[in-house]
């Protein structure tokens, strides 16, 4: 994303808060004007006390009161303006972060599969914070700085034109220095943000897989990879900080030289009677204020480079192409008739995976899908759930092309238990009721008892109110899977998808819950993906897949009688014996 488009997106995000922004701008302008008027009053006071015996208290005191009132009003306006700016800044970053996270929900799985979760987290959390701090909060500094420059210039012209021209010619030198440095900082801050995202993703990945790393003794290799990313992040950070840290001292040095020159020039004119001591004091105050915004603006511009890079990375998520649009039809409760008509699919155009698959499944039938790893079993399920869209052919449910119906209404008719279980951070109760939040506690407990999960749940510290960690930390894989099955048992949709649903459950428990599965599957269309062929012997139809094709289909007995690929798979598991 180029800078111009990034700025356009930033101003677009500010639009809902334009009224507050205008109020802040007005208050900032007022505080700047009052601040700039005070040196004139101070100069008048000095002129009233210069010279022995010339102190005029009667005229000084009203001026001092005015200074006090202006200072108090300036402080109040700055406080109110700062409060508004903070509210606008954090409201905007909240909106942008929400937009990015909401957009993630609409992205196709292909995007999420190709991007590390830690890198996405880094964009939404770290880059969003930097965007808020660097861009939005700095906006006020730039506005007040520009206004201060214009105001001080006007007041200086009023006091002495020639000294003002000298200041105006010399001071902008600091801007050129800042601009030269800023050109080198953007690329470094961009690389720093990318390296930070890579670091977040790697730490997230290695923390999640800590047990596996230790089990295979890969700690040293992991540390080497970490050190490589860490060194890269450190290198980019140091370069970015080096360039950005040059800005302030460079501009301060230039401004100090300008201030010394103006002081000398003003003193010479004052000796000649061209300016009073009080007005020279006021002018020097203005000269210092005239230079100060250049320092602030140059520093903010440097911070902008990092913030702009972070904003571009954050907006890039929202600009990703969303999944294909929903259809217009909203399905009610379906009967469960499912048809694959010449379905083809590939993750990459040059590598077809599913090729011309055609099956017609009547409502209430139980379909098992078997085959070697990587043959396309889970992909078939992903297409059925419309996690991916087919590249050829049609999948229909009760005669409706699933691309023509809303995803929410389609998936409301599915109940799915995957091999890789997912539990949210929350109570056991919340996790089981995820698929049917309006269910009563009695129905929830009945579902847990049906899959023999109630026993271990009640042994937990707070039973169904026990809070689980992220991903179900503290539970065994088998216990997580039982909770996932309880979730489906509670919702009981017309179509069930069981993808290795009992792979992490011991054989004894599997036999015990098989009766619950049998009851749950009665009258429901069921797709079962299984490696353990013993679990699908009673299926109405077994689809045997190999290299993306359905090479055989039939009942268990029919396929064994054929002596083909299924018989070979069965024999490899049971040595040819049933």
pLDDT at residue 173, rounded to an integer: 72
3-state secondary structure of 453: coil
d(CA 509, CA 537): 18
Say if residue 79 is in the same domain as residue 203: yes
121 with 191, same domain: the answer is yes
What local confidence, expressed as pLDDT, does residue 577 receive?
44
Q: Over range 62-67, report the average pLDDT.
A: 87
Q: Return the sign of the alpha-carbon dihedral for residues 543, 546, 552, 556.
A: negative
* Domain identity same for 430 and 314: no
CB 277 within 8 A of CB 267: no
pLDDT tens-digit map of 268-295: 777 777 677 777 777 777 777 776 776 6
Handedness of CA 472, 475, 481, 483 (dihedral sign): negative
Closest-CA residue to 505 (of 497, 513, 495, 494): 513
Q: 328 lies in a domain? A: no
Distance between first and last Cα of the chain: 61
**267 and 368 both lie in a single domain:** no
pLDDT tens figures, 1-58: 566 777 778 778 888 888 888 898 899 888 888 888 888 888 777 777 765 556 677 7
Whole-angstrom distance, CA of residue 484 vs CA of residue 431: 8
Q: How far apart are CA 9 and CA 315, in angstroms?
A: 8
Are 29 and 164 within one domain? yes
Q: Is residue 490 part of a domain?
A: yes
Name the average pLDDT for the chain: 80
Q: State CA 140 to chain mean position distance.
A: 26
- The reported pLDDT for the residue numbered 238 is 85
Collapsing DSSP to helix, strand or coil, 116 comes out as coil
Q: Judge if 365 and 313 occupy the same domain.
A: no
Which CA distances in Å does 351 have to 90, 258, 298, 537, 557?
46, 68, 52, 33, 34
Q: What pLDDT is recorded for position 412?
A: 84
Is the pLDDT confidence value at 72 over 90? yes
Answer whether 89's CB lies under 8 Å from 141's CB: no
Per-residue pLDDT at 178 exceeds 70: no
* Co-location of 371 and 460 in the same domain: yes
Tally of residues, the chain: 578
108 and 246 inside one domain: yes
User: At 530, is the secondary structure helix, strand, or coil?
Assistant: coil
Query: What is residue 326's DSSP assignment?
Result: P
| 518-558 tens-digit pLDDT | 777 788 898 888 776 767 778 888 888 887 788 888 888 88
Any domain includes 530: yes
Strands of the 400-401 sheet, one edge to the other: 354-361, 338-345, 392-397, 400-401
Q: At 215, which CATH number?
A: 1.20.1560.10
Query: Which H, E and C letters describe 340-364, residue by residue?
Result: EEEEEECCECCECCEEEEEEEECCC
330 within domain boundaries:
no
Task: Please work out, in degrees rounded to the nearest 5, the angle formed at the alpha carbon of residue 187 by the alpha carbons of 182 and 188.
Answer: 90
Task: Answer whether residue 323 is part of any domain.
Answer: no
The 10s digit of each residue's pLDDT in 440-456 is: 888 889 888 888 888 88
Confidence of residue 73 (pLDDT cuts 50, 70, 90): very high
CA distances from 87 to 90, 266, 487 (A): 5, 44, 41
Domain count along the chain: 2
Residue 352 has phi, psi (to 5 degrees) of -65, 140
- CA atoms within 13 A of residue 260's CA, in its CB half-sphere: 6
Closest CA to 498 of 537, 472, 549, 536: 536
Distance (Å, whole) CA 236 – CA 230: 10
Q: What is the mean pLDDT of residues 367-395?
A: 84
State the Cα–Cα distance between residues 15 and 81, nearest whole angstrom. 18
> Cα(194)–Cα(123) distance, rounded to whole angstroms?
9
Query: Does residue 410 sit in the same domain as residue 276?
Result: no
Phi, psi torsion values for 552, nearest 5 degrees: -150, 155
pLDDT digits (tens, 9 = 90+) for 319-363: 777 777 777 888 888 888 999 898 888 877 777 778 888 888 898
Q: What band does 503 get if pLDDT is binned at 50, 70 and 90?
A: low
Using 50, 70 and 90 to split pLDDT, how confident is the model at 510? low
Phi and psi at residue 496, in whole multiples of 5°?
A: -110, 145
The C-alpha atoms of residue 283 and residue 156 are separated, in whole angstroms, by 6
Q: In this predicted structure, what is the pLDDT of residue 76?
A: 93
Asked if 65 and 188 sit in the same domain, the reply is: yes
Q: Are residues 385 and 307 in the same domain?
A: no
- Answer yes or no: do 253 and 369 share one domain: no
Q: How far is it, in rounded angstroms, from Cα 170 to Cα 184?
A: 24
Residue 541 DSSP SS3: strand
Q: CA 190, CA 6: separation in Å to the nearest integer?
A: 14
Instruction: Flag whether 327 is in a domain.
Output: no
pLDDT at 578 over 50: no
| Bridge partners (DSSP) listed for residue 357 | 343
The strand pairing partners of 370, in sequence order, are: 544
Query: Sign of the CA dihedral 348, 352, 354, 356?
Result: positive
Question: Which string of DSSP letters, residue by residue, matches 251-317?
Answer: HHHHHHHHHHHHHHHHHHHHHTTSS-HHHHHHHHHHHHHHHHHHHHHHHHHHHHHHHHHHHHHHHHH
CATH number at residue 456: 3.40.50.300
| Structure tokens that stand for 27 in this block | 């208050």
**Any domain includes 325:** no
20: domain range?
A: 3-318
Mean pLDDT of the region 481-509 = 77
User: Could you give the CA distance from residue 236 to residue 243 in angstroms, rounded to a whole number?
Assistant: 11
Does any domain span residue 558?
yes
The predicted-structure confidence for 408-436, as pLDDT tens digits, reads as follows: 888 888 888 777 677 777 888 888 888 78
Integer Cα distance of 9 and 435 in angstroms: 37
């Amino acid at each position: 994303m180029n800078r111009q488009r990034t700025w356009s997106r930033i101003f677009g995000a500010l639009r809902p808060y334009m009224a507050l922004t205008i109020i802040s701008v007005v208050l900032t302008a007022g505080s700047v004007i009052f601040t700039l008027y005070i040196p004139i009053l101070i100069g008048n006071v000095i002129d009233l006390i210069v010279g022995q015996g010339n102190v005029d208290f009667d005229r000084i005191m009203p001026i001092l009161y005015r200074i006090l009132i202006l200072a108090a009003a300036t402080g109040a306006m700055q406080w109110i303006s700062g409060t508004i700016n903070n509210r606008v800044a954090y409201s905007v970053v909240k909106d942008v972060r929400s937009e990015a996270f909401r957009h993630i929900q609409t992205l196709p799985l292909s995007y999420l599969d190709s991007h590390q979760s830690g890198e996405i987290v880094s964009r939404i959390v770290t880059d969003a914070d930097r965007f808020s701090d660097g861009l939005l909060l700095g906006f006020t500094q730039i506005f007040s700085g520009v206004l201060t420059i214009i105001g001080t210039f006007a007041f200086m012209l009023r006091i002495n034109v020639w000294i003002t021209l000298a200041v105006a010619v010399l001071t902008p030198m600091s801007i050129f220095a800042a601009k030269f440095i800023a050109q080198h900082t953007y690329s470094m801050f961009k690389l720093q943000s990318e390296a930070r995202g890579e670091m977040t993703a790697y730490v997230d990945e290695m923390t999640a897989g800590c047990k596996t790393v230790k089990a295979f003794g890969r700690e040293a290799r992991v540390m080497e990879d970490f050190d490589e990313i860490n060194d890269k992040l450190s290198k980019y950070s140091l370069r970015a900080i080096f360039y950005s840290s040059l800005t302030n001292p460079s501009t301060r040095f230039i401004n100090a030289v300008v201030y010394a020159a103006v002081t000398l020039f003003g003193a010479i004119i004052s000796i000649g009677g061209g300016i009073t001591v009080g007005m020279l004091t006021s002018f020097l105050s203005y000269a210092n204020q005239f230079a100060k915004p250049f320092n602030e603006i140059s520093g903010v511009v440097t911070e902008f480079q990092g913030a702009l890079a972070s904003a571009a990375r954050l907006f890039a998520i929202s600009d990703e192409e969303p999944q294909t649009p929903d259809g217009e039809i909203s399905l009610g409760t379906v009967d469960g008739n499912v048809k694959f008509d010449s379905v083809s699919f590939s993750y990459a155009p040059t590598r077809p995976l599913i090729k011309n698959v055609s099956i017609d499944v009547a409502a209430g039938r139980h379909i098992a899908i078997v085959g070697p790893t990587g043959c396309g079993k889970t992909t078939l399920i992903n297409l059925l759930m419309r996690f991916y869209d087919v590249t050829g052919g049609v999948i229909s449910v009760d005669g409706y092309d699933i691309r023509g119906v809303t995803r929410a209404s389609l998936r409301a008719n599915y109940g799915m238990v995957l091999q890789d279980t997912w539990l949210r951070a929350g109570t056991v109760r919340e996790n089981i009721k995820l698929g049917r939040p309006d269910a009563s506690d009695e129905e929830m407990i009945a579902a847990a008892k049906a899959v023999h999960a109630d026993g271990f749940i009640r042994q937990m510290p707070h039973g169904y109110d026990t809070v689980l960690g992220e991903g179900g930390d503290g539970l065994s894989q088998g216990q997580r899977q039982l909770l996932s099955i309880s979730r489906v048992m509670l919702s009981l949709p017309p179509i069930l998808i069981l993808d290795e649903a009992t792979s992490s459950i011991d054989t004894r428990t599997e036999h015990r819950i098989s009766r619950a599965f049998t009851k749950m599957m009665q009258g429901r269309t069921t797709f079962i993906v299984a490696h353990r062929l013993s679990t699908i012997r009673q299926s109405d139809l077994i689809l045997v897949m190999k290299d993306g094709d359905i090479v055989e289909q039939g009942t268990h007995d029919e396929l064994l009688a054929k002596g083909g690929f299924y018989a070979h798979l069965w024999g490899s598991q049971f040595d040819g014996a049933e």
